[in-house]
Amino acid sequence: MAKRRTTRAENTGDMDAASGTADEVGLLRQALAAAGAPDEVLRMLDTGGPDEIFARLAEADVLPAPADALPNLIAQWTPLLARGVDPLTAEISGLEFVAAFRSAEPDPDRFAEMLTALVEDTAAYGGAAALAFLRAMAAVGPATVRPTAAEAADRLVASGLTDRPWAKDLGTPKVGTCFGYKDDLGAQETVAVTFRYGRREHAIAVLIDHDLGGGVKDCWPTDEPDQIRAAYRISAAEEGLRFADYQPAEARAILHQALEQPPCPVEPDQIEDVDMFLDLLRSRTALLPDTGPDRNVSTRQRVSRKASSAATVHRLKVSLRGARPPIWRRVEVPSDTSLHELHLVIQAAFGWENYHMWMFENGAGRYGIPDRELDIRSAAVRKLHDVAPRKGSRLNYTYDFGDNWEHSIVVEEVRAAEADISYPRCVAGRRTAPPEDCGGVWGYEDLIEILADPTHEEHAERLEWLGLSSTADFDPAHFDLEGINQELAQVAAGWR
């Protein structure tokens, strides 16, 4: 599908020349090399001070003379003064400029300092094009620069200049439709959110990759949302997936979770898009309402919920299969808990350390970290009430595919949540869980026997392996309900 691009002249050399310092010479070399400048041009930067170098480049028509740098840069914003320019065009022009500036000065502190100085210089220079630049920076510039740009633009208006029509709506489009699709394994997900400036509609298209951590893999604006919708429908149909319309609050939940994770672009065009448009996606996501149907897609969202936000809870008995005497936990979790969240609850309830592979399985399929070869779908997007909806429903949970700790999960009850209870919680259980990497159920039985026999040749070695000074510190019959609930509270707090 086509990605919108608003082209505009960019001359990072103007910014470097205007600063006139030795540091900018190095930045200018990088910018010219990246632009494919020939060797004879790059050799002009090898000798002399900054002033001499910039004068030499100006004589060769590679850069304008330093005195012309600021006027030439401001002149690049003249197209935004034309009749019919819409706010989206102004936003994209600003985003492209910020991306070019960041490329020339990747250090965040230096970048913000230089851009703030440029804003102040532009305000002092004045003029309609300068006002257009300042309005764009006030809308899409870095957060530290926006207040300075807005104040500078207001001063120019107070001096007698007039804002272009697009300035009054900049950054505040009306929310439209939201739609997308995802694959059955939960590996990747696409979302598009449409917005409208007056009669002109645009969309932000987003690709989320759950295999790469659930962050934004690609995002870009387009002024052809109908084409994006049609392309999504075709792609979903070709791959046998379900195309869906989302409520704006649902789209916000999806995008907010993705934006909480590190971006994960792979291809060069994805890297360029994310660098340029991620801030636009953030600002557009903030415009979406945060009330409405809750899709609960977050793998890190809090599980601790009061009854006001969790209509029902599932009471589950989770038993370690093959353990004799039995080892089990009875836990209560909101019915809309994702299977990824349930995985973390079980880890805390049994004292596992969560550094091995894991998987849920029942007649509906396998769920865990998505793996196409193993036919494992994403546990992050599947809810407990979907795979185990009623009393008597069952699930299998396997942790550590080497030691193969298999757990049977039975839904004992589905009931209304209590108003004064925080979930998840453990309400009962029996015996301590085996330590990690002890060789599975049979290995744990051997460990218990060895620790019970001080004369066993491996007795001291096993104590040392467990980090214990004596067998008095090891009690397989111990069950610490309070300690487990403290662990569950910490897990829930991490999702807030």
Query: Which tokens is 496 given?
Result: 């807030």
Torsion sign across C-alpha atoms 27, 30, 34, 39: positive
Q: 368 vs 46, which has greater pLDDT? A: 368
Of the ranges 289-298, 307-316, 362-371, 400-409, which one carries the lowest mean pLDDT score? 289-298
Return d(Cα 384, Cα 394) in angstroms, integer: 11
Instruction: Indicate the angle between helix axes 128-140 and 108-125, nearest 10 degrees.
Output: 150
Q: Which domains, ranges and CATH numbers included, belong to the chain?
A: 12-169 (no CATH), 174-287 (no CATH), 312-432+477-494 (3.10.290.30)
Phi and psi of 332, rounded to 5°? -120, 130
Given pLDDT bands bounded at 50, 70 and 90, which one contains residue 305?
A: very low
First vs last C-alpha separation in the chain: 37
Task: Provide the greatest CA pair distance for the chain.
Answer: 95
pLDDT of residue 57: 59
pLDDT of residue 355: 77
Q: What is the average per-residue pLDDT within 6-12?
A: 34
Phi and psi of 406, rounded to 5°? -95, 130
Query: Which tokens is 230 given?
Result: 């049609």
The answer to whether residue 310 scores a pLDDT higher than 50 is yes
Query: pLDDT tens-digit profile of 192-216?
Result: 999 999 888 999 999 999 888 899 9
Given pLDDT bands bounded at 50, 70 and 90, which one contains residue 296?
A: very low
For the beta carbon of residue 232, count every other beta carbon within 10 angstroms: 21
Given pLDDT bands bounded at 50, 70 and 90, which one contains residue 19?
A: very low
The answer to whether residue 309 scores a pLDDT higher than 70 is no
Pairing between β-strand 174-182 and β-strand 243-246 as defined by DSSP bridges: antiparallel
The answer to whether residue 233 scores a pLDDT higher than 80 is yes
Query: Which tokens is 291 given?
Result: 């009330």
The average confidence (pLDDT) of the chain is: 83
**CA distances from residue 267 to 232, 259, 292 in whole angstroms, order as listed:** 20, 19, 35
pLDDT of residue 10: 34
Pairing between β-strand 365-368 and β-strand 376-378 as defined by DSSP bridges: parallel
Of the ranges 261-270, 284-293, 439-448, 474-483, which one carries the lowest mean pLDDT score? 284-293
**Are 181 and 244 within 8 A, CB to CB?**
yes
Angle at CA 244, nearest 5°, toward 241 and 249?
A: 140
Instruction: Determine the residue type at 84.
Output: G
Start-end of H helices in 141-240: 146-158, 225-238
Return d(Cα 233, Cα 323) in angstroms, integer: 50
Most confident residue range from 26-35, 107-116, 370-379? 107-116
Angle at CA 354, nearest 5°, toward 351 and 355?
A: 135
Of the ranges 98-102, 120-124, 206-210, 260-264, which one carries the lowest mean pLDDT score? 98-102
Most confident residue range from 44-53, 127-136, 351-360, 416-425? 127-136
Q: What is the average per-residue pLDDT within 231-243?
A: 82
Phi and psi of 398, rounded to 5°? -115, 130
The answer to whether residue 73 scores a pLDDT higher than 70 is yes
DSSP code per residue over 421-484: --BSEEEEEESPPPPTTS-HHHHHHHHHHHHH-TTSTTHHHHHHHHT-SSGGG--TT---HHHH
CA 195 to chain centre: 21
Query: Which tokens is 159 given?
Result: 């001096």
Q: Environment class of residue 272 by beta-carbon count within 10 Å: exposed (0-12), middle (13-18) or buried (19+)?
A: middle
Among candidates 405, 412, 404, which has minimal Cα distance to 428?
412
The answer to whether residue 303 scores a pLDDT higher than 60 is no
Q: What is the average per-residue pLDDT within 425-430?
A: 96
Q: What is the average per-residue pLDDT within 387-396?
A: 94
DSSP code per residue over 246-281: E-HHHHHHHHHHHHHSPP---SHHHHHHHHHHHHHH
Q: What is the average per-residue pLDDT within 135-145?
A: 91
The percent of the chain in helix, strand and coil, each rounded to the nearest 5, is 45, 20, 35
Given pLDDT bands bounded at 50, 70 and 90, which one contains residue 356?
A: confident
pLDDT of residue 213: 87
**CA distances from residue 444 to 29, 87, 453, 464 in whole angstroms, order as listed:** 64, 66, 14, 16
Q: What is the average per-residue pLDDT within 421-437?
A: 92
Angle at CA 137, nearest 5°, toward 133 and 140?
A: 135
pLDDT of residue 373: 77
Share of residues in the chain with pLDDT > 70 (%): 82
